[in-house]
Structure 1
Amino acid sequence: MKKKTLYQTLEDRGNPDYIEAHAPFLCKWRNTWLGDGYYFWDTFIENAHWWGEVRYSNTYVICKATCDYDPIKCFDLVGDTEHMLDFNNTIEFLRSQKLITDDTTVARVLEFLKRKTGAFNYEAIRVYGIKSISEHKEAYRKYRHRLIFELSKPQYLDYKPAIQICLFKKNSLNLRDIKIEYPDEYNSDAVI
């Protein structure tokens, strides 16, 4: 089983002790991409900083945690092609039943999988939201980690992609060791 480092970005409300005592925090926004859950950025803290800048206007906290990545417990739409095929088959089935439209979201398909199939027994989901980080804002350039394959061609490798993991329960994937990583004044391990 592979250990992964995860980062959760939170609004800074001046309550670091509360955060460390109660983290991670459930996201229940109306427009959550993957449904209700505990959202983390996978591996790359830069993505957590980007979200803090965008969502919380640079007033944010980043918590770092460790989990045990297990493809049997995590529905991985980034690195597991069988899971991608399962998701595709679900979309094709929903289309055949005329239950999917151009307005259908990833969250709605996942909700169908969770509630209607009886076969979705995962603790988490892992996704890469293509174009999460705006291509058009110069301020976000520092968060885009891309290298072209060929000169004068648009294709590129995103070597620090904005991959998210949504845990369905607070302790999914054996989540542990959660503590504040940023800002330094809340991080007892920070070196001055």
Structure 2
Amino acid sequence: MGHICHQTLENQGNSKDILSSGPIKGTNKNNYFGEGYYFWDDNLKHAKWWGKKQYNSKYYVFEADIVFDLNRMFDVTDRSCISFLKDVVDEFLEGDIDLPDYFLGSILTLLFEEEVKTTNQLFPYLYAKGIDFNNDYSSRMNYSPITKSYFLLNPTTFFCIFKEENIHLQTFELIVEY
């Protein structure tokens, strides 16, 4: 059994084409992890929110059951992945790369492309998992009554699968159409 994910796409009257071809690659330069196939982590509420925001309420939400190899997941909430990224950034700072011109997605793209060119294991990840902090105060709960620290009851988590051949779909279906 896989992991339930949602992909939000613009409704261009092509839902049957998408269903037959599978998930669509995101190529927007604002993508958090660079180019890839983006999915909400089992969160229909956020998938619909994105459709309203990004596509002016004219969108599809596809539900996918995807199998991930968690050992190949770059997870920004995992301390070992953060340490890996910090080491890479430190190497960039020692080299001739001007880091202010880069962001997380461009750095991951560089690492992924370098691995493809050299076939080494510099970047052994097939996918990434991120979390976006939004202003949905209704989903916050304090850890205790005397602290301002909180956790999110409905965090905005998402996945990016870098290459199509690493998408291992169990199911893929249209569940929302506006």
Aligned length: 173
Sort the Cα spacing of 1:170 and 1:115 in 2 relative to 1 into closer, same or farther, 3 A: closer
After superposing the two structures, state which structure 1 stretch, 68-77 or 86-95, moved more: 68-77
What is the alpha-carbon distance in structure 2 between the residues aligned to residue 12 and residue 153 of structure 1?
Answer: 44
Sort the Cα spacing of 1:162 and 1:100 in 2 relative to 1 into closer, same or farther, 3 A: farther
Q: Is the 8 A contact 2:35 2:109 kept in 1?
A: no
Letter in 2 for 1:95: L
Deviation at residue 126 of structure 1 after TM alignment: 1.1
In structure 2, the partner of 1:95 is: 93
Provide runs of 4+ in structure 1 moved above 4 Å.
Answer: none
1:122-175 per-residue CA deviation (whole Å, 9 max, x = no partner) reads: 22111113x3x3x2xxxxx49x52212244754221122111111122242512
Deviation at residue 100 of structure 1 after TM alignment: 4.5
What RMSD, in angstroms, separates the aligned Cα atoms of the two structures? Answer: 2.3
SS of corresponding position for 1:72: helix
What is the alpha-carbon distance in structure 2 between the residues aligned to residue 124 and residue 101 of structure 1?
Answer: 23
SS of corresponding position for 1:108: helix
In structure 2, the partner of 1:82 is: 80
Letter in 1 for 2:164: K
Correspondences of 1:164-179 after superposition (within 5 Å): 164-179=158-173
Correspondences of 1:1-192 after superposition (within 5 Å): 3-78=2-77, 80-97=78-95, 99-116=97-114, 118=120, 119-129=122-132, 131=133, 133=134, 135=135, 141=136, 145-151=139-145, 153-183=147-177
Which of the pair is proportionally richer in helix? 2
1:60-118 per-residue CA deviation (whole Å, 9 max, x = no partner) reads: 1100001122222222223x322221112111222233635344210121123223363
SS of corresponding position for 2:50: helix
What is the alpha-carbon distance in structure 2 between the residues aligned to residue 4 and residue 181 of structure 1?
Answer: 16
What is the alpha-carbon distance in structure 1 between the residues aligned to residue 164 and residue 111 of structure 2?
Answer: 21
SS of corresponding position for 2:107: helix
Q: Structure 2 stretches of 5 or more lacking a match?
A: none
SS of corresponding position for 1:69: coil
What is the alpha-carbon distance in structure 2 between the residues aligned to residue 170 and residue 5 of structure 1?
Answer: 17
Q: Is the 8 A contact 2:63 2:175 kept in 1?
A: yes
Q: Is the 8 A contact 1:67 1:176 kept in 2?
A: yes
Sort the Cα spacing of 1:147 and 1:100 in 2 relative to 1 into closer, same or farther, 3 A: farther
Identity among equivalent positions (%) equals 23
What is the alpha-carbon distance in structure 2 between the residues aligned to residue 70 and residue 4 of structure 1?
Answer: 11
